[in-house]
Amino acid sequence: MNIRIISATNKDLKQMIKNNQFREDLYYRLHVVPMEIPQLRERKEDILLLTDYFLKKFNEKYGQSITIDDHSKLILQLQDYPGNVRELENVIEQIVVTARKPIVTIEDLPSDLTYKDTALVNLTGIIPLKKALEETEKQLLSQALSTYKSTRKMAKALGSAKRRSCANWANTNLAIRTINNKLTSIEI
């Protein structure tokens, strides 16, 4: 019989070995191909894939055909998910179970999501300017979307109701005339 074991932990096993809390021989039996998987908040690009996967899973489980609109998916992507993938899974299950209509919009998202209180700028260190601009743009769009609920109102609030782009935003590829496209294609 050929058996492979895949295991995961959030514990420091080497420290546990030193403290006689984990067997060293077991550690070396399990530690054949180590992989470190970053927390979900560090892999924002995975959130949409996981959202679609869990949406399909729970639609099948509960006999539903719920979809989530792109603006709501953006809000889901902006979450930190301290509970990692399990927390995202629970959020999607909650959405499917409590949905009152077939297409979930921002108003239908669970009330404990923090999109309304997201800080617009939160620097924790030095990062490349391009990444900082992209992150600020995403946060600004999210805040505007949660406040105004429509791209037309967003464009007006952002100072571009006449389909012109703001001079300071030209370098960040944000043309307000394409704000709806930006919201649906934004990569986090």
Could you report the per-residue pLDDT of 75-120, keeping only the tens digit for each? 898 888 988 999 999 999 999 999 999 999 988 898 888 654 445 4
Secondary structure class of 73 (helix, strand, coil): helix
Task: Look at the chain and report how many structural domains it folds into.
Answer: 3
In the structure encoding, which two tokens stand for residue 39, read together?
């927390």
Higher pLDDT, 67 or 175: 67
Domain boundary among 77, 108, 139: 108
Judge whether 121 lies within some domain: no
Question: Sorting pLDDT into bands at 50, 70 and 90, what band is 188?
Answer: very low
Clarify whether residues 145 and 170 are in a common domain: yes
**Is the whole model's pTM more than 0.85, yes or no?**
no
Residue 171 carries which side chain, given as an amino acid letter? N
Residue 173 carries which side chain, given as an amino acid letter? N
pLDDT in tens, 109-159: 988 886 544 454 556 677 787 777 777 777 777 777 766 666 666 776 676
pLDDT of residue 45: 86
Judge whether 141 lies within some domain: yes
Instruction: Please give the average per-residue pLDDT across 42-56, as a whole number.
Output: 93
CA distance 66 to 39: 27
pLDDT value at 25 more than 70 = yes
Secondary structure class of 149 (helix, strand, coil): coil
Judge whether 158 lies within some domain: yes
Instruction: Please give the average per-residue pLDDT across 26-52, as a whole number.
Output: 90
CA distance 58 to 113: 20
Instruction: Please give the average per-residue pLDDT across 60-69, as a whole number.
Output: 96
Clarify whether residues 32 and 59 are in a common domain: no
Higher pLDDT, 20 or 70: 20
Give kind and range of the element (H or E) at residue 123: none
Judge whether 117 lies within some domain: no
Instruction: Give the residue from 146, 68, 70 showing the smallest Cα distance to 113.
Output: 146
Clarify whether residues 48 and 63 are in a common domain: yes
Judge whether 1 lies within some domain: no
Over its C-alpha atoms, the chain yields an Rg (Å, rounded) of 21
Question: Sorting pLDDT into bands at 50, 70 and 90, what band is 19?
Answer: very high
Judge whether 103 lies within some domain: yes
For residue 59, is it left (φ>0), alpha (ψ between -120 and 50) or beta?
A: alpha
Clarify whether residues 22 and 45 are in a common domain: no
For the ranges 3-12, 78-87, 118-127, 169-178, the lowest mean pLDDT is seen at 169-178
For residue 104, the cross-strand partners are 68
Classify the C-alpha dihedral 56-61-66-69 as positive or negative.
negative
Domain ranges, residue 178: 129-185
Instruction: Please give the average per-residue pLDDT across 9-22, as a whole number.
Output: 93
* Residues written for the chain: 188
Clarify whether residues 71 and 14 are in a common domain: no
